[in-house]
Amino acid sequence: MIEILEKLHEEVTGRLERCGSPQDVEQIRVDYLGRKGGKLTALLRGLRELPAEERPSAGAELNRRRGEVETLLETRLAELRRQQEGAREGGARLDVTLPGNRLERGRIHPLTRVTDEIIDVFTGMGFEIARGPDVEDDYHNFEALNIPRDHPARDMQDTFFVSENHVLRTHTSPVQIRVMETRRPPLRIIAPGAVYRHDDDATHSPVFHQVEGFMVDRNITFGDLKGVLTHFLEEIFEGDVRVRFRPSFFPFTEPSAEVDIGCNLCRDVEDSCRVCRGSGWLEILGSGMIDPNVFDFVGYDTEVYSGFAFGMGVERIAMLKYGMDDIRLFFQNDIRFLRQFPP
């Protein structure tokens, strides 16, 4: 009897060691302690057949062994449960308090931003957007804008030639010609885009951006030019702006005017001002009444129609708006520079 019990105890211990789940432990319980067919249960039942004098000691021994087996089962069960939980935590060791990986959000480039603002102001006044090719022919870039071959006015712009007859457009003014060639007045057009000049320093870039604009109809006067451009500058520089129209020369306008705004940095008192160099004024755009010669090129009757045109540099406006002194910052795409502009 003692030996049988000893053997059963060993069996249970061995099986418990090998088992891997609480379900296995339950199976062992059934095999040894189950009411039907449990091996220890069967021995307990067998007590009746023993001689009366042996029964008490055998019964005590059996109960002690049963108690031991129960404890073994409990202990192993608890151990397996702990292991299972540990595995669950370990498998998904997730610290929900850790900060996440931030996805860097893109920004609108300051030049795109300023271009969009310019477009907004003009579309608000009924202007529509037109575009032209970056590689332009000599006729549209120069000739039809009243800049004949061999005319000294060609020196105003240092030109990249693509071929004998084609250039990278030096300004957006050729879009005026392209639109007027295909359409009749009334016209209110703005033409944003890249332009190219052989120029490279802190305030000049070989590629930069302009917004061209023009308005043609019956009875358009210099007063319309002043009204539209003054309103535009008040919008783009947010109200607090002084505007000055200064006589100038462009081959495609007559008369021509450059438009200045009061220096917003020194308010015209400091000789040393790095923005206006003491003049108190900042040149912001070129403009004028469209030259009758230009209308002749596109076949508009100069007795019926008149119009004004203007062109401005987007980089220059952005630099003044944001207080920048180096144009190259726009093109280096240094993330530290770009981050300064709110999304």
Site residues (CB under 6 A) for ligand DAH?
171, 173, 212, 250, 253, 286-288, 309-311
Using an 8 Å Cβ cutoff, are 132 and 174 in contact?
A: yes
Could you tell me which of 232, 262, 234, 231 has the C-alpha nearest to residue 246? 262
Please state the closest distance from residue 98 (CB atom) to ligand DAH, in A. 55
**Which structure tokens are listed for 152?**
């000294």
- For ligand DAH, give the closer residue by CB, 65 or 172: 172
- For ligand DAH, give the closer residue by CB, 38 or 288: 288
Please state the closest distance from residue 287 (CB atom) to ligand DAH, in A. 5
- For ligand DAH, give the closer residue by CB, 80 or 212: 212
Q: How far is CA 173 from CA 113, 176, 193, in A?
A: 22, 5, 10
Please state the closest distance from residue 286 (CB atom) to ligand DAH, in A. 3
Residues 6 or more apart whose CB falls under 8 angstroms from that of 35 comprise 41
- For ligand DAH, give the closer residue by CB, 110 or 288: 288
Please state the closest distance from residue 313 (CB atom) to ligand DAH, in A. 8
**Which structure tokens are listed for 86?**
């540990």
Phi, psi torsion values for 309, nearest 5 degrees = -140, 160
Please state the closest distance from residue 195 (CB atom) to ligand DAH, in A. 7
- For ligand DAH, give the closer residue by CB, 175 or 266: 175
Please state the closest distance from residue 280 (CB atom) to ligand DAH, in A. 22
Residues 6 or more apart whose CB falls under 8 angstroms from that of 60 comprise none
**Which structure tokens are listed for 146?**
């009243």
Helices (H), 183-313: 222-236, 292-298
- For ligand DAH, give the closer residue by CB, 3 or 155: 155
